[in-house]
Amino acid sequence: MQRDGARRLPQIRRALVNMGLVAGSLLVALLLVEVAIRLIAPQQLILVRPDVWQAVDTVGWRFRPNLDTKVNWGERTVRVYTDQDGFRVGRSGRVNAPPSRRVLLMGDSFMAALQVEYEQSLAGLFESDLHVAVRNAGQAGWDPPQYYLGVREALTRDTFGLVVVSVYLGNDVVTSRPERIPPRVPVEIHHLRVPHSLAKAEVVDALVRPLNDYLEERSHLFIFVKQRLETLLMRAGISADYFPDEFRKNTRESSRWDVTTGMLADIATMASRRHIPTLFVLIPAPFQVDTATFHHFAIGFGLDSSSVDMDQPSRLIADRLRARHLDVVDVLACFRAMNANGPKLYGDVDRHLSPRGHEVLALLVEPRVRELLR
């Protein structure tokens, strides 16, 4: 027995040495590939900054006041400035104007526009093209209940010549109307921990997401590979993307359309009591605009194209708002035409509007804004 044990020790040592050599070789290979990617095909590392928001009662969260910092959601590094009220502003600071030339801009991450410099966003283009002062209340993760609560708060503090409400058709259709959003921060950095169980969701939250967050900030190779495995990640159910139910035909008779438009109509009523007009701008999802993006989603999520209607949210929301005699700009058809004939309107890594997307949106919305400001 002792001889057998003595013979096994060298074998175990050799196995451990071989495993160490393989691991070392793999590590060196990965480092070399990382260097090669940085030199040949550099990627945008993602710099997530949860500290740019503060938890706020009633609306949940908003930008911290007086910010001067940088973020990067995968497209480019962007400078973020806010004024004393937490509204995003340009490099030169807050623009002032008489009340009749002030615009309250409300919306979600498409109006917060952390993927582009402020001067390239819809808010910045309004200010430069129309010579108005914009109070950009757009916040990542907000939806119609927060739009209503945010507009109500802003109207008690200031006077405006126009309220513009952006409605993102990818996730702004809601099924309930809370009267208050508890305070929290919308972006979380996941920390590595021991899983409490072997359930898929728990393993993803404890191991996969923390590793993803760590590598997204540091590895060009990880970003490069992740983009090319996006469809596989969708099929595995570990992608951040999802396909909204609002595009499925079986939700056509859902109460969600009336719940959502009812809140939007209440915003217009609240503003009209102060003699302020309201304009609603419907922002299409990228897979509504680009057939290649929809095809990508269809493969990744196993969609049956006959069960979805790409125009459904645009049509049902616009029809209900117009039936209430409210002002609506629906840019879907123009976005499809412009996206097909020019630079992309959405980002490649982060699917929010690109600088070109904001430029086209401003081109389509500004004529109606001019009319309403008169």
From the centroid of its chain, how far is CA 95? 26
DSSP 104: E
Given pLDDT bands bounded at 50, 70 and 90, which one contains residue 345? very high
pLDDT for residue 230 is more than 90 = no
Give the per-residue pLDDT at 237. 64
Give the per-residue pLDDT at 47. 65
Q: How much is the mean pLDDT over the chain?
A: 89
Q: Compute the distance between CA of residue 210 and CA of residue 77 in angstroms, rounded to an integer.
A: 22
Beta bridge partners of 296: none
pLDDT for residue 219 is more than 90 = no
Give the per-residue pLDDT at 201. 79
Q: Compute the distance between CA of residue 66 and CA of residue 84 in angstroms, rounded to an integer.
A: 5
Per-residue pLDDT reduced to its tens digit, 162-182: 999 999 999 999 999 999 999
Question: According to DSSP H, which parts of the chain are helical?
Answer: 2-40, 109-112, 122-130, 144-157, 200-203, 209-216, 220-228, 230-236, 256-272, 286-289, 291-301, 312-323, 332-341, 355-373
Give the per-residue pLDDT at 75. 84
Which phi and psi (to 5°) does residue 334 adopt? -65, -40
Q: Count H helices and E strands in the chain, helices first.
A: 14, 10
Mean pLDDT of 116-124: 98
Per-residue pLDDT reduced to its tens digit, 40-92: 876 666 766 778 999 999 999 999 999 999 988 888 889 999 999 999 999 99
Most confident of 13-17, 189-193, 216-220, 242-246: 242-246
Q: Could you give the C-alpha distances from 321 to 18, 88, 258, 356, in angstroms and in order?
A: 69, 28, 10, 28
Nearest CA to 136 out of 63, 75, 71, 209 is that of 63
pLDDT for residue 225 is more than 90 = no
Q: Is-contact 332 362, C-beta < 8 A? A: no
The residue with tokens 């409400």 is 165
Q: Compute the distance between CA of residue 155 and CA of residue 153 in angstroms, rounded to an integer.
A: 6
Given pLDDT bands bounded at 50, 70 and 90, which one contains residue 248? very high
CATH code of the domain made up of 50-183+245-373: 3.40.50.1110
Give the per-residue pLDDT at 166. 98
> Residue 159 is encoded by which pair of tokens?
């006077």
pLDDT for residue 198 is more than 70 = yes
Q: In terms of pLDDT, which residue wins out, 303 or 326?
A: 326
Give the per-residue pLDDT at 302. 82
Between the two ends of the chain, the Cα-to-Cα distance in Å is 98
Given pLDDT bands bounded at 50, 70 and 90, which one contains residue 235? low
Domains of the chain: which residue ranges? 1-42, 50-183+245-373
